[in-house]
Structure 1
Amino acid sequence: MTRAIFFGTPGFSVPCLEALTSVATVVGVVCQPDRPVGRGLTLTPPPVKARALELGIPVVQPTKLKTGAFGAWVRAQAVDVALVVAYGRILPSDVLAGPRLGCLNVHASILPKFRGAAPISRAIMAGETETGITLMQLDEGMDTGNMITSFPTTIGENETAGELADRLAQMGADAIRSCFARYIRGDFLPQKQDDSRATLAPPLRKEEGKIDFTLPAKRVHDHVRGVNPWPGAFTKLRDGEGGKTVKIHATRVSPASREGAPPGTVILADKTHVVVACGEGAVELVTVQLEGRKAVRATDWFLGRGVAENDVLG
């Protein structure tokens, strides 16, 4: 049976690890080091490590990749291929050359669009209606290697980055189950990417969660979806809550007329809708969360007298 190493770190990678174990002998899993998590900064293993240990697979967590020692370790495993899924670091040339057939990657976009660390969020924030996963060969660039095959999917109108990530993770796992053996046999003819069509998907920054209501309603809605679950969309309520931060978990584009109201103005607040004016059009707030409180329906926020018409967000 094919011998393989798996590189991955977050929960997105876990379905592909599980799929790989069904089509290859996984002799080792490589993931990033344990990190402090939560208010107590508890040292916590990444999801891939936790799942690998449950599966009885040895785990390696190197802090440095370019010393030569890690490349030697990869060569010593005598594997046919390495599968890399959201590992989080660019592999140096000696590591890429270690497996007999190189390194295969599952990337969460249809390349060459959205190369980089945050393709799912960036696609939604850009208003894309289609994305997918690409199987590709890794090289030393940022998602610049030759493509093996791709599988497109439609992005739902209200789908969040977290929801889409769950779907794409399963699509990646299905692709491994259906294509891995064919790749090992050499059935695919790798295709060079068209670099002239490439776009980038850099990591999200925490401050990118801030909502800009001067944008058109569709852009605001896509932004809220794209930063859910991290870093999360937020704004300030200048009236009623003393300028406290309000997290916005879900929105919808509203058919309501803003009638010249300045962006950020609450133009409708009742027991059925809470609607905010944007630069063009308006968005309905669906789920909100005030500082130190649980997430609630925006209409419950109104019923609790937390927001009223003519309040201003932003």
Structure 2
Amino acid sequence: MVLPPRRMGRGFKTLREVPCKLLAENLRLNIHQRKTFTGWDLPEGTNLVIAVSFGLFVPPRILTSAKYGGLNVHPSLLPDLRGPAPIHHAILKGYDYTGISLQTLDHRIFDHGTILSQTSRPGISIPPGCTVQELTSLLAPIGAQMLIQGLRDGVYVPPRQNTGWIAEELSDEQLVHAPKVTKADGHIKWTKWTGDDIVRRVRVLGSVWTHAVNKKGDKKRLIFQDAETISSKDIGNHGAKVRLLEDTGVVLETLIWDQGDGSCAIRTLDDSVIRVKKIKEEGKSQRDAMAGLRGYLADD
């Protein structure tokens, strides 16, 4: 069973099929393409349900109709990072390690099944500076192999043993939830985020944004298309003032420095410095950061 194709890209004009549907077509397997489970039953003789990055909650009536219930591969060390975006949040939180968990499908709630297999301590090292796509590409074949090995070993056959280990090391308060990430999560919180926080958001979302007040007193949205942390020794002595808006609407006066190559340096909450090369001003094309900010520099 697969979900219908989703519209992607600019203007949502491109239909993207689920990859496993394309594989199923090549293997000439029967395909059930549906938006919901309503009015649909498992084909006769199905004894195990496997859901990976599926997007729908598998209802109890489907799970109970399969002899061995259901399995799911989740890209985190459960119960940490439960939710639809564990890879995104592993990067956002600055984790050094993550992992894969093979779990049963719970009848009531996502990501609360019995952990049948899990990456061993300390986990899989997250490469420095990696993006969501890069980490996904690293974890996907490892997860596929864990699923295959679990099927060969029959870990889904009762009595099932919980093999998860991370729960022994983290309290409930330390466990992180991993909800869906949206563009709204890229709205910079200047009084809360460190330089590393901003850089991680760019790695996850592709860009971050803020509002600024220009010389005319107008509030405009500025999109930072990139960001990297640099040494404060690289910013020079004389900065210019820019008025940025917190998400609460509070106006903050911030110093920026022209880096001489079109990029700008901005000091952040923790006294670290980020360099931004490209900025897109609301209603305009992307430009070098300093060119994009020129109309926002306060006159001394």
The TM tier, using the shorter chain, reads 0.7 to 0.9
Q: Cα deviation per residue 1:134-186 (whole Å; 9 max; x = unaligned)?
A: 11111121200010122221223311222212222222123234433113585
| Structure 1 letter corresponding to 2:29 | I
Check whether the contact 2:73–2:102 (CA below 8 A) recurs between aligned residues: yes
Equivalent residues of 1:118, 1:203 under 8 A apart: yes
Which structure 2 residues correspond to residues 273-312 of structure 1 after superposition, within 5 A? 274-280=264-270, 281-285=272-276, 301-302=289-290, 305-307=291-293, 311=297
Moved more, 41-50 or 111-120: 41-50
Q: Percent identity?
A: 23
Structure 1 unaligned blocks of 5 or more: 1-29
Aligned-partner residue type, residue 113 of structure 2: G
Structure with the bigger RCO (C-alpha within 8 Å, sep 6+) is 1
Judge conservation of contact 2:77–2:99 (CA < 8 Å) in 1.
yes
Matches within 5 A, 1:161-176: 161-176=132-147
Deviation readout 1:255-297 (Å, 9 max, x if unpaired): 216889767542242228532111111112256556688878x
- Residues paired across the two proteins, number: 270
Q: Distance in 2 between matches of 1:185 and 1:40?
A: 40
TM-score normalised to structure 1 length: 0.71
CA contact under 8 A between 1:83 and 1:103: conserved in structure 2?
yes
Q: 1:263 to 1:185 in 2, by over 3 A?
A: same
Letter of the 1:157 counterpart: P
Task: Compare CA radii of gyration and give the structure with the larger one.
Answer: 2
Distance 1:238 1:138, change over 3 A: same
Pairing 1:159-308 to 2, within 5 Å after superposition? 159-183=130-154, 189-191=161-163, 194=167, 196=172, 198-214=175-191, 215-228=193-206, 232-236=207-211, 238=213, 245-256=221-232, 265-271=255-261, 274-280=264-270, 281-285=272-276, 301-302=289-290, 305-307=291-293
Query: For 2:12 and 2:35, how far apart are their aligned partners in 1?
Result: 23
Q: TM-score, normalised by structure 2?
A: 0.74
* Cross-structure match for 2:244: none
Contact 2:90–2:98, Cα closer than 8 Å, also in 1: yes
What value does the CA root-mean-square deviation take over the aligned residues? 3.6
Matches within 5 A, 1:60-209: 60-65=32-37, 67=38, 69-70=39-40, 72=41, 74-76=42-44, 78-140=45-107, 141-151=109-119, 152-183=123-154, 189-191=161-163, 194=167, 196=172, 198-209=175-186
Instruction: Indicate how the Cα distance of structure 1 residues 86 and 293 shifts in structure 2: closer, same or farther if over 3 A, else same.
Output: farther
Corresponding position of 2:247: none
Give the Å deviation of 1:81: 2.1
Tell me the secondary structure at the aligned position of residue 115 of structure 1: coil
| C-alpha contact (below 8 Å) 2:2/2:31 kept by paired residues | yes
- The change in CA–CA distance for 1:191 and 1:40 in structure 2 (over 3 A counts) is closer
Counterpart-to-counterpart distance in 1, 2:201 and 2:254: 15
In 2, distance between residues paired with 1:159 and 1:293? 29
- Are 1:31 and 2:2 an aligned pair? yes
2:263–2:278: 8 Å Cα contact kept in structure 1?
no
